[in-house]
Structure 1
Amino acid sequence: KGFLRFTKIGGVRPQTLMGGRVQFADGLTGTIYAEKLETWSKLHPIDKHYIDVGGTSRKDCPIEVGTTADFIGPFIAQGTRRIAKSMDDRIGCVVAIEALKNLKHTPHDLYFVFSVQEEVGTRGAQAAANMLQPDVGAPIMSVELGAGPAIKVKDAGMIAHSGLVRQMRARAEELEIPYQLEVLEGGSTDARSMQIAGPGSAAGCLSIPCRYVHSPSEIVDIRDVENSVRLLVSLISQPIGL
């Protein structure tokens, strides 16, 4: 019928897909829908979904096997909330860039790395860490929306350096920044690769609260973003004694 079957890259959740729209690199758009199951109360797995790009048969379908597509949708500013696709982890890039703009001095040799493929094995961070061999590594990631930036304690792939956790907490308290302590039972971040790449490094993680991650409409609060910038600038502008 000209519909496209697809697989996911990263942690896309099937329950967020129905009726969503995607766009291919050539500008062509498609609508996601799913086969009719015995009951609509059942969760449709990824392999029961398809993308409708207007084709009527296999022959006239304009998309080749292996072509990638992204969610599309408007950016919305609503009060202190910002809504868009791919906030996880573009908002981490925003925090890093704003920290660079606000940083006046530092006793460290700093490397800001904008890495790829975190969702499929933290591959970009591992390559960068092998090349740079940092003493301390701290990725900027996303967690559930809540009361301030989150300081990671552990996740399924790494245990944060306790000294780095203590310093991040101390800096937050000095600046009166509300923060959360994060313990993540499933999944991991680029900190895992930083911790074990090359000779290894002391690794921690600053997480920015984000609601509805891995969906077409992710939400952040600008106050959490601004506080994450303040905390990061404070951390890297002073000596880190571990």
Structure 2
Amino acid sequence: MKFNSDLIKNLSDCFSPSGREQNVRELIINEIKDYVDDFNIDSLGNLIARKKGAGKKIMFSAHMDQIGLIITHVDEKGFLSFSNVGGLQAKELLGHRVIFNNGLEGVICSEEVKDKDKLTMSKLYIDVASTSSDFVKKNFQIGDMCVFKTDFYENEDCIICKAADDRIGCYILIEAIKNHPSTDNDIYYVFSVQEEVGTRGAKTAGYSINPDLAIALDITATGDSLDKTKMDVKLNGGAAIKLMDKSLITHPEVKDLLTNLAKNNNIKYQYEVLEFGGTDAGAIHLTREGVPSGVISIPTRNLHTSGEIFNKNDVIECIKLVIAVVK
């Protein structure tokens, strides 16, 4: 299976923070529209694509949104106060460049703080590099959002980029759609909104679809770097089959299904227990009377930063596992 680096880059670079997913949604529609039986955009903004069948109703979900910042105050001198949209820590933001949907940029700076470990969002601001109050008033206002400004980097086996969480999950579903196998199952490929602020899109999509089985595609942490995260997941270890995180204990039959499919199809896999965080599956499995759910995770270093790192081989194994589930 050929790895489509251009598509990954386009997804990573697409400006779409939580609640503002329209750009990446249009990109995905253009990629999949000729490969699905139908698709629709629901009231919350989820993109729901379907390959029709008379068998079991299976839902896959990968979230389109990315973490970002929202402007709370605009100073005429060109200094913007902000709050976070999704899981970000103030001490990790200082010095990062950001970009707005209009293409303008800024850099995150700090007021004078004696103890950097006690830095808070209220002490940070964005300098948009202008001395013109007219320019600032014209181009920035309360409610505007921005995301990290990061160059895409690729080597022989890994990629460094922003928004791997969860554009890599979206990539996997796009590739699965393009390689959709013959099956009687009724397959729903969901590209969800607002996961980073509470798995909101997956909750409504899961309720409307009411699937027999749900599988989320999302990144997970690794234990193979120097950040001292204690877990067995590693880059180039294959697709990670989640056993538990803070939002989900994987249904045992779903865990067995994913494991057996990996073994029977020579798909490289590993098990994941994540001691923090959650995914779309956490919301979906509690909808209506309950939905047996699981997660296929992509091992990723530097979560929720401007430079997330993942392995290409792991991505390919995840695509294979999704296709095996579909069959």
- Say whether the fold is shared (TM-score over 0.5): yes
Q: Which amino acid aligns with 1:230?
A: K
Asked if the contact 1:138–1:204 (Cα under 8 Å) also holds between the matched residues in 2, the reply is yes
Give the equivalent residue in structure 2 for 1:3. Answer: 79
SS in 2 for 1:61: helix
CA apart distance, 1:159: 1.3
Residue in structure 1 matched with residue 93 of structure 2 by the alignment:
17
CA distance in 2, matches of 1:15, 1:174: 46
Displacement of 1:60 in angstroms is 6.0
User: Which of residues 213, 219, 225 is equivalent to 2:303?
Assistant: 213
Which moved further from structure 2: 43-52 or 208-217?
Answer: 43-52
C-alpha contact (below 8 Å) 2:94/2:109 kept by paired residues: yes
Change (3 A) 1:43 1:77: farther
Question: Which runs of 5 or more residues in structure 1 are unaligned?
Answer: 238-242
What is residue 240 of structure 1 aligned with on the other side? none
3-state SS of paired residue (2:314):
helix
How far did 1:14 drift? 2.8
Correspondence 1:105-120 to 2 at 5 A: 105-120=182-197
> What CA distance in whole angstroms lies between the structure 2 residues aligned with 1:174 and 1:193?
30
In the TM superposition, what is the alpha-carbon distance from 1:99 to its structure 2 partner? 1.1
| Segment drifting more, 203-212 vs 43-52 | 43-52
- Render the CA deviation track for 1:190-225: whole Å, top value 9, x for unaligned: 101111112321111111111111111111110000
- What is the alpha-carbon distance in structure 2 between the residues aligned to residue 55 and residue 200 of structure 1? 53
For 1:66-125, what per-residue CA distance to the aligned partner results, in whole angstroms no more than 9, with x for missing partners? 111111221111121111110000000001111112222122100000001111111111
Distance 1:76 1:182 in 2: 27
**Structure 1 counterpart of 2:110, one-letter code:** A
Q: Between the two proteins, what is the percent identity of the paired residues?
A: 38
- Partner residue in 2 for 1:34: 110
Q: Secondary structure at the match of 2:281?
A: helix
Paired residues of 2:220 and 2:274 also in contact (CA < 8 A): no
Partner of 1:74: 151
Corresponding residue for 1:133? 210
Superposition map of 1:1-242 within 5 A: 1-40=77-116, 42-56=117-131, 61-62=136-137, 63-145=140-222, 146=234, 147-237=237-327
The answer on whether the counterparts of 1:3 and 1:55 sit within 8 Å (CA) in structure 2 is: no
Q: Counterpart of 2:108 in 1: which secondary structure?
A: strand
* Higher strand proportion: 2
- Identify unmatched segments of 5+ residues in structure 2: 1-76, 223-233
TM-score where L is the length of structure 2: 0.68
For residue 231 of structure 1, what is the amino acid of its counterpart? Answer: L
d(CA) in 1 for partners of 2:90, 2:141: 23
In structure 1, distance between residues paired with 2:187 and 2:315 = 21
Asked if 2 retains the 8 angstrom alpha-carbon contact of 1:195 and 1:201, the reply is: yes
Distance 1:196 1:57 in 2: 51
Task: Tell me the CA shift for residue 58 of structure 1.
Answer: 7.3
Tell me if structure 1 keeps the 8 A contact 2:218–2:295.
yes
Report the AA paired with residue 113 of structure 1. V
- Give the TM-score normalised by structure 1: 0.91
